[in-house]
Structures are given as C-alpha cells and as structure tokens.
C-alpha cells in the first residue's frame, strides 16, 4: 500500500460531505463513511439505505486495491436513524431489567436490522458509568455501578456474536464500546464546550477510583467480549494523585489509549475518534492530527474535513513527526476488522433480513424489554395492578407521544416530540388496548367525575448529549404542567398512579405524598404497550433502579457507596405488585 492508501483507510467522512460528489470516496481512498444522528438517505427506508451504501461501496471498490468501505452508524437503541426500525428502551431502561440475556437479544435484533440496510458497524454500546444525573447522556448508560455495566456488556455479544468468528454473518455488526474512559464521571461545571455544563467535561479523579469505576467496563469489553473497535471520549482526565496534573483530553492521552488500553488491557482492535474530537486539542490542525495519531487513535471521524485530514497527516509522516510504524499499526487494525466482517468477499449489502425490520417478532422482544424495565417505586393501597374494568382517566402529554417516549437519538440526533416521525404504540394506546373505559386529557382539563383511577404521565422531552445537561436549558425538576396535572388528578380521583417517562430520575419529593403509585418508565421506545403490560398485571414488576434517585437536584451527584448516602430511592430499589 502507498502512504496515501494507508492514510485513506484511517479517514472517515460523513455522508453529507461526500454524497454530492461520491468520487471523493475513490480519490481520497476513504476507509469509512458514517451517518451522523439524523443523516439519512432521501428515501429513509431499508432499501433506500442499502442502495445508498452500496453506491458508496462501488466507489470504494473502484480504487486500485479495491478495499471495501466500512459504514458506521449510531444504532444506540435499535437502528434508530431508520424510520420503521424497532426502537428499544435506551440503555438506562435496559439496566433496570437486570437481564443480560435480554440485552444480548435486543442488540442481536439491532444488529440484524442494521446490517440488512447496509451499515456493518455501530457506535454502541455506551459502557459509560453515569455518576451524575445532571449529565445529558445519563440514559445512554446502563447505570451508576460499574458491576452492572459490566453485566450488561452482553450487548457487545449481541452485536458481534462470537468475536471475530461471527462478524461476517448477515445478522452481526462491529460493536464500539464508548466513550473511553470516564465520560459519565465528569465534574459538573467543567465542560468547556459551548453551553454544556458536564458533558465533555473533566473527570477529576485519582487512579484507584478511575480504574475501579471508569476503566473497569473496558477491561471486560476487551478481555471477555472481544471488542473490535472502541471510541475515545471527548472528555478529559485530571489526576488528583499527581501533583500539578492538568486536564488532558482523551484524544491526546497516549498513556491511557496506548499504554493502558492497547498494551496493558490488550485491546487489539482499532480506535475511532468521536465527531471532530481532535479539533478540541491544543495547537493548530497539524498539531492536533499529530498528537492524536501518536496518542493511539487509528481512524479519524472527520465528518467534513477528510481532505484536510489526509493532507495534514501525510505532511506529518513525511516530516518524520509521525512514524510509518504507527501508520502501519493503525491500518493493520482497521483492515483486520474489514477482513473479519467478510467485506472483501461480500462488500455489498446482504438484504436477506430486510423483511424482519420492525417485524412483530422483533417488536415483541422490545415490548418485553419495556415491561422488564419498569420500576415500581411506590404502591400504596394496592393501587397497582389496575383492572380492565376500571374507569381510567389518563393525563399528561407523555402518555400519547411516541417521540417523547423514545427520547433522543431517534430518527434525528436530538429526537422530536410527536407521533408522525416513526411507527409505534404510545403508552395511552397500550392502556386503551386493555381497559374498556379510558378518558384522555393531555392537560387534565376534561371532567374527572366518575373515574376510578387516574394515570398521570409526566416526564421529559427529547434531547441528546450535552444539549440535555442540567443548566443548559434543562433541569431534573418536573415541569409546572406536570405538577399541575398531578395536583388536579391526584386531588380529584381516589386512586392516582404517576408514570415518569424520562431518561433520568426527576425530582418528585414534594409530589410523592399526593400519589398512590409511582412508576419509572424511562424512555421505552416504540412499544408503549409494554408499560400497560405491568400496569394491568399481565406481567410482573421486576425492574430495579440502575441509578440512585435524588431527593433534590442539589443532592447530585449521589451514588451507591457514598459515605452519606440518603437518596429518595436507593440504587437497586424496586417493588413488586400483586393482586
């Protein structure tokens, strides 16, 4: 391979930057293309995706060496960019299930639906350990305890199957545990990215804590689940046990990327940088490129600056500031994954499983995951389970909003409220499928007289990443509208049940006494009927809190094992309900 061909393999562009001139794939010898959140073909259908990616692939195969393209996508709770895909609960809900086998099944379905449309690589799962619920990515974490995260890393097996041996199958994809390491453990107020408050901030820690909390999931990912690619974090680490330590961005941290992850832990896959992550490093662009390559990053997500990246890295190698050995190491790691994926033999999309996308069988598994994720936090007077014969009054926008119940990373990066973006069943529709007499009023303005039970569905609207950070237009406190609905419904109807549809615990301390039952529903995705399954006792409540539930926003961070541990509901809490 020529130097240009090698550096091409290390370069990843976003489809939006190359779609109008696809010959760039050939001229730049690109190794990879990705779809960012919400970046879709004009026809956002399974065949639309497959046709688009196969078109890109033909341009890669027109290069001198015919090296196939690796296409990456954020399938973080199903193939969530695709309209019609099965949308599963986000990771925090899956963590509540405490069911590693179910998580593996969920991600196997995600892999099947994803690869049938062309992408062979997913930027998932997030094996972050969330330590502060003010973080806008809390819902991407399985929980606050690294042991729970490690248990849920069966997600990697669901994506990849049995390591490199299964990757060539048409129902498997390359997984990417992320974000190495400490992204869920940053200190509030340390983010320097625009208006973010905690996402992409600084993990201020000593080595013992970092190894036990933040690094542990990656040891498991590499040694037990054969992770083939890993994405370093936007965040930084600052050591408290090293005098004079300054924050170092993970993309520049050779000690952690090369000495610890690759050499000590034994990671032999490749590292993919996050979206323009190297642009946050000190110095000019050439310095940023040189620093990140020498730190150990192998492939570079440079969505709109692939030509500039290739020029800069070429100049750095020619000047002797990046060794050819480092380039060869990176390219060898990338090509190994392409061989394991079977792309050299079968570069184009195998569409055999395209008919399974959003199938009843797949949605049934999602519905089961929803049911198992529900956490019963309060149940006075045996308010739950409900009876189909009861007259049920349902209030709250989130009762009948697919977009809100799916959250961020759904069709678009930030997600969107409403019921028109993708197919599914709302929580209200799930209740209506069981109960005989249901009244729905989003703002609780309809008359409540004659109702046996009120169901108030509160919660958040969609967000993703640091956009959802508390202090960046968001809060853990419930909205005034939700508070008013609780006051009205719980004050007028004898039995009152509250469901919280959110990506993290919300502050309900002052409202708790007003309700008979409280259920944390998380972000269930497309199958809201799974919530009704436990409300009516068709399936039992088995979910347990994967995070501690704070009494107030000011109590964060609060985590199991803290010296003064007094949350409203402790980690692992969850009741059962019997008739």
The set of catalytic residues is: 274, 465
In angstroms, rounded to a whole number, what is the distance separating the alpha carbons of residues 520 and 251? 36
> Which residues in 518-556 are b (16+ Cβ under 10 Å) and which e?
bbbbbbbbbbbbbbbbbbbbebbbbbbbbbbbbbeeebb
Alpha helices in 161-227 (DSSP H): 207-209, 216-223
Q: Which residues contact 96 (CB under 8 A, 6 or more apart)?
A: 372, 373, 374, 375, 520, 522, 543, 544, 545, 546, 574
**How big is the CA angle at 136 (ends 76 and 105), to the nearest 5 degrees?**
25
202: enclosing H helix or E strand: strand 202-205
Candidates 408, 501, 493, 425; CA nearest to 457 is 501
Candidates 515, 542, 198; CA nearest to 370 is 542
454: enclosing H helix or E strand: strand 453-459
Q: Which residues contact 26 (CB under 8 A, 6 or more apart)?
A: 59, 60, 62, 63
Q: Which residues contact 525 (CB under 8 A, 6 or more apart)?
A: 77, 78, 86, 87, 88, 89, 90, 366, 370, 405, 406, 410, 424
Q: For residues 27, 175, 560 and 556, what is the CA-based torsion angle, rounded to 10 degrees?
A: 30
Q: For residues 495, 460, 411 and 413, what is the CA-based torsion angle, rounded to 10 degrees?
A: -170
For residues 115 and 166, the answer to whether their CB atoms sit within 8 Å is no
In angstroms, rounded to a whole number, what is the distance separating the alpha carbons of residues 54 and 68? 10
Q: How many CA atoms lie within 13 A of 398 on its CB side?
A: 30
What tokens were used for 399? 């009762």
Alpha helices in 319-421 (DSSP H): 324-340, 360-373, 402-406
Q: Which residue matches tokens 């303005």?
A: 445
In angstroms, rounded to a whole number, what is the distance separating the alpha carbons of residues 309 and 313? 6
In angstroms, rounded to a whole number, what is the distance separating the alpha carbons of residues 284 and 72? 28
């Amino acid at each position: 391979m020529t130097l240009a061909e090698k550096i091409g393999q290390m370069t990843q562009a976003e489809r939006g930057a190359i779609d109008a001139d696809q010959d760039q794939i050939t001229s730049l010898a690109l190794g990879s293309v990705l779809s960012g959140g919400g970046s879709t073909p004009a026809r956002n259908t399974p065949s639309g995706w497959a046709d688009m990616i196969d078109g890109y692939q033909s341009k890669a195969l027109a290069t001198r060496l015919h090296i196939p393209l690796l296409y990456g996508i954020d399938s973080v709770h199903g193939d969530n960019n695709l309209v019609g895909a099965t949308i599963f609960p986000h990771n925090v809900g899956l963590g509540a299930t405490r069911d590693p086998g179910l998580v593996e099944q969920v991600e196997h379905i995600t892999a099947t639906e994803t690869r049938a449309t062309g992408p062979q690589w997913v930027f998932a799962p997030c094996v972050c350990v969330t330590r502060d619920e003010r973080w806008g990515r809390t819902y991407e974490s399985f929980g606050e305890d690294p042991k729970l995260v490690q248990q849920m890393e069966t997600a990697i097996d669901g994506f990849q199957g049995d390591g490199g041996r299964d990757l060539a199958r048409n129902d498997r994809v390359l997984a990417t545990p992320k974000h190495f390491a400490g992204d869920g453990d940053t200190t509030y107020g340390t983010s320097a990215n625009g208006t973010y408050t905690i996402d992409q901030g600084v993990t201020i820690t000593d080595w013992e804590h970092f190894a036990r909390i933040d690094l542990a999931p990656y040891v498991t990912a590499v040694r037990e689940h054969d992770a083939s690619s890993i994405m370093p974090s936007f965040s930084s680490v600052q050591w408290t046990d090293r005098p004079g330590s300054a924050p170092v961005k993970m993309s520049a941290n050779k000690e952690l990327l090369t000495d610890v992850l690759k050499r000590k832990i034994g990671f032999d896959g490749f590292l993919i940088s996050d979206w323009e992550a190297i642009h946050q490093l000190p110095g000019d662009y050439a310095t940023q490129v040189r620093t990140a390559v020498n730190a150990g990053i192998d492939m570079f997500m440079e969505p709109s600056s692939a030509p500039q990246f290739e020029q800069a890295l070429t100049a750095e190698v020619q000047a002797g500031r990046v060794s050819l050995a480092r380039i060869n190491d990176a390219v060898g790691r990338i090509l190994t994954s392409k061989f394991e994926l079977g792309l050299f033999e079968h570069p184009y999309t195998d569409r055999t499983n395209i008919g399974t996308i959003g199938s009843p069988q797949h949605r049934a598994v999602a519905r089961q995951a929803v049911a198992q994720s529900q956490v019963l936090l309060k149940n006075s007077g045996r308010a739950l389970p409900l009876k189909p014969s009861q007259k049920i009054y349902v209030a709250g926008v989130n009762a009948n909003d697919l977009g809100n119940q799916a959250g961020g990373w759904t069709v678009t990066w930030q997600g969107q409220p409403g019921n028109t973006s993708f197919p599914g069943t709302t929580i209200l529709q799930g209740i209506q499928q069981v109960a005989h007499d249901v009244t729905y009023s989003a703002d609780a303005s309809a008359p409540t007289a004659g109702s046996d039970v009120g169901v108030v569905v509160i919660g958040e609207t969609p967000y993703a990443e640091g956009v959802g950070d508390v202090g960046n237009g968001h809060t853990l406190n419930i909205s005034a509208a939700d508070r008013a609905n609780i006051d009205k419904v719980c004050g007028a109807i004898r039995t009152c049940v509250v469901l919280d549809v959110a990506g993290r615990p919300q502050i309900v301390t002052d409202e708790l006494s007003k309700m008979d039952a409280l259920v944390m529903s998380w972000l269930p995705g497309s199958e809201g009927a799974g919530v009704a399954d436990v409300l009516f006792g068709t399936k039992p409540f088995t979910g347990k809190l994967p995070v501690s539930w704070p009494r107030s926003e000011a109590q964060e961070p609060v985590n199991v094992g803290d010296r003064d541990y007094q949350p409203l509901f402790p980690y692992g809490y969850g009741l059962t309900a019997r008739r």
